[in-house]
Chains A and B, each alone.
Chain A
Amino acid sequence: MIKKKITPKNRLDTLFYIKQIWNYRFLSYSLAKGEIKQKYSKNSFGILYSIIQVVITLTVYWAIFGIVLNVDAFGIPYPLFALPGIIFWQYFSNTISRISSTLHDSENLISKLYFPRINLLLSRLLINVPELIIGLLIYIILLIIYSQLISFLILWGFLLIFILIVITFGIGLWISMISLYNKNLGQVVIQLVQFCFFLTPVFYPGTIIPNSFKIFLYLNPIASIIEFFRSSLISIYPHDKMFILGIIIGTLMLLSGFFMFKKMERKITDML
């Protein structure tokens, strides 16, 4: 028989907490499934809509930056150069804005059910994964079109996508905690994060930044991941040791966010 003692200051044991999150993993999965179905049931094109969206965005970028402004991408065909940036940034920014309002949107569930609240945020992480996969498939098609070698390096790409998701979660944790504390402040932070689009090498290569400022560029985890992805899959794109910097920053945010959230977990119901 399970015995439990509830006191005002129950410290959650980290291992127990992780086990709980794992036990409720199907909750996150099912919630995400519902949201995805809702998203696609609203437009009649279904999954085709996402494909069209990626293709249109890519074409516009290509026309403006690739052809008109003639951004130098080390001789890499511009669509091949720009696509990872586009899909990674879109995943990041959509997910972040979704996560930030999750706790407020789910007030009903939170005040009536017991489950690790972090699973709600985890479910939001999955909602934009279909677009990520579609983008990646288009990328593979582009690789074939431009007759690039598809080697085992593509696995390296998958690892980077996994890192992207995990780091997005870390940043999302922080923003959702800020929104919980003050809803308006959360919206301001979201706006600032969206603005970071211009500081991220999505439509330009990171190499155009002067060397002395590069450290600031790669403090941005998303910038590091995009550049890392490009240099891993396309051999002529330059590699930089500083890519690891953003990933370290992202990991630190994830860990600190996780422990902060764990500390807040029991108070969330009362803070809504």
Chain B
Amino acid sequence: MKENAIVISNLSKKYYIIESEKQEKRNKINVFNKSSREFYALSNINLEIKRGELITIIGSNGSGKSTLLKLISEITPPSKGTIEVNGTIASILEIGIGFQPDLSGLENIYLSGYMYGLRKSEITKNIDSIIELFGFSNFINTPVKYYSSGMYMRLAFSIIIHIKADIYLFDEILSVGDASFQSIAINKIKKLNSSGATICLISHTPNLIAEISDKMLLLNKSEQILFSKSSLAIEKYHNLLFNSNPENKNDKLTLNSQELNSIKNLLETSEEFQFNIEEIKIYNKNATQNNIYTDFEIIIECTLSYVSNLPLQLGLLIKDQNQIIITSCDTELKPSKFYSKTNVIYTIPPFSLNPTLYIFDYLILRNSEVAVIYPLANPLTISSKIKSKTLGPANLNISSEIQNK
């Protein structure tokens, strides 16, 4: 049984809403007599984080993620409940905070270190290694106001990873910087974690760090939804993220006149043209449940009616949640003189898509040129009953063998 690093019980944080300039003054006074409109940034959070765990906190904007870290790091006190912390905390809520533009890089290393509560001797001990990681040692005595933003970030990051603590709190540090910075940051976090540190981090792109997280905490509208293993939390997070917009619910199935015209132009025809997707159904072959599992064949059934004197193609695009195309598939549609219903059925073999969130788009094509894209508004989460063996969204069933020579 591992020791607890952080135990949170019944934690709530209450704020008083400031509605207008005029009311601001009144609210400030109400900080003391507590009678204005209240707003819970966090309500009733209960957690137990064990030593050496890596916890990712996910949730939409305003769900209370940053507030939770601020409470743990004592930047602001809770309104209710308790937090027990075993060990020293390094709380990195923003990178490069508090740099003084007129101080040199070296002086800012010390300043920044002091801000995170380091002692002078601790910084001096690590100074060579910080400068080495920074990588621009000949600029170390230049005031940081002359630094490029990239150098600035690197300097800040070099300091941060030299902070020694038992528990690290990171707020969104992966969203700043470029891809190479992100991978460096993730590697460093992994390294910290494997050396025994407890880590809590906030992320908006949970897939990036799902593999290194032990558990994920999902917050929504100040409430704790789930504290569980990553895959479950990510699935629930995506559901929340995309189902919260009710106007997205109905798929746009009818083409407007502009879109019809663009198809007509492409077809170089002046004759009658109609096209409607009437229904899209996605289900498992032997469907007994609401969720869609990759363990069985996934059927995508598209009911459409069209009138066209030329052959068309209907394409299906499968994209990940970042709108990156994973794969596609085309179907030939024969010319049709009468407005009649046609069913197009796509079948995805079992285990070819790994469990995550997908976006399906339809395309109308003519000689491989795209005329119109029909987005299927609701992204779809595909689950799995067993743990997938491969990484990434698609499973290509690549075979491997060993040949001894």
Q: Does A13 sit at the interface, judged by CB under 8 A?
A: no
A182, B82: Cα distance in complex, Å: 31
Q: Does A143 sit at the interface, judged by CB under 8 A?
A: no
In the complex, which residues 88-130 of chain B have their Cβ closer than 8 Å to any Cβ of chain A? 88-89, 91, 93-94, 97-98, 100-103, 107, 110-111, 114-117, 119-120
Q: Does B78 sit at the interface, judged by CB under 8 A?
A: yes
A31, B75: Cα distance in complex, Å: 19
A10, B83: Cα distance in complex, Å: 11
A23, B115: Cα distance in complex, Å: 11
Q: Identify the stretch in A85-93, A163-171, A202-210, A264-272 within 8 Å (CB) of chain B at 4 or more residues.
A: A264-272
Q: Identify the stretch in B66-74, B267-275, B322-330 within 8 Å (CB) of chain A at 4 or more residues.
A: B66-74
The one of B70, B80, B86, B101 that contacts A8, using a Cβ cutoff of 8 Å: B80
**Could you pull out 5 A-B pairs where Cβ atoms are within 8 angstroms?**
A30-B100, A33-B111, A111-B75, A112-B93, A266-B77
Q: A114-B74, A181-B28 are in contact. Are A6 and B101 (CB under 8 A)?
A: no
Q: Does A5 sit at the interface, judged by CB under 8 A?
A: yes
Residue of A nearest to B97 (CB): A112
Q: Does A192 sit at the interface, judged by CB under 8 A?
A: no
A34, B104: Cα distance in complex, Å: 9
A3, B89: Cα distance in complex, Å: 11
Q: Does B85 sit at the interface, judged by CB under 8 A?
A: yes
Residue of B nearest to A25 (CB): B114
A194, B86: Cα distance in complex, Å: 49
Identify 9 new A-B residue pairs, CB closer than 8 A, beyond the known A1-B87, A7-B82, A8-B80.
A1-B86, A6-B77, A7-B81, A30-B100, A41-B102, A109-B97, A111-B75, A113-B91, A182-B28
Q: Does B79 sit at the interface, judged by CB under 8 A?
A: yes
Q: Does A37 sit at the interface, judged by CB under 8 A?
A: yes
Tell me whether B116 and A113 are in contact (CB under 8 A).
yes
B-chain residues with CB within 8 Å of residue A35 when the two chains form the complex:
100
Tell me whether B103 and A8 are in contact (CB under 8 A).
no
Q: Chain A: interface secondary structure?
A: helix
Q: Does A2 sit at the interface, judged by CB under 8 A?
A: yes
Closest CB-CB distance, B67 to chain A, in whole Å? 11
A33, B114: Cα distance in complex, Å: 13
Name which of B31, B75, B116 has the most chain A CB atoms within 10 A of its CB: B75
A266, B75: Cα distance in complex, Å: 7
A144, B166: Cα distance in complex, Å: 59
Closest CB-CB distance, B164 to chain A, in whole Å? 13
Tell me whether A24 and B114 are in contact (CB under 8 A).
yes
The one of B28, B78, B111 that contacts A34, using a Cβ cutoff of 8 Å: B111
Residue of A nearest to B72 (CB): A6
Residue of A nearest to B71 (CB): A6
Q: Does B25 sit at the interface, judged by CB under 8 A?
A: yes
Tell me whether B85 and A3 are in contact (CB under 8 A).
yes
B-chain residues with CB within 8 Å of residue A212 when the two chains form the complex:
none
Closest CB-CB distance, A246 to chain B, in whole Å? 32
B-chain residues with CB within 8 Å of residue A24 when the two chains form the complex:
114, 117
The one of A6, A31, A41, A114 that contacts B78, using a Cβ cutoff of 8 Å: A6
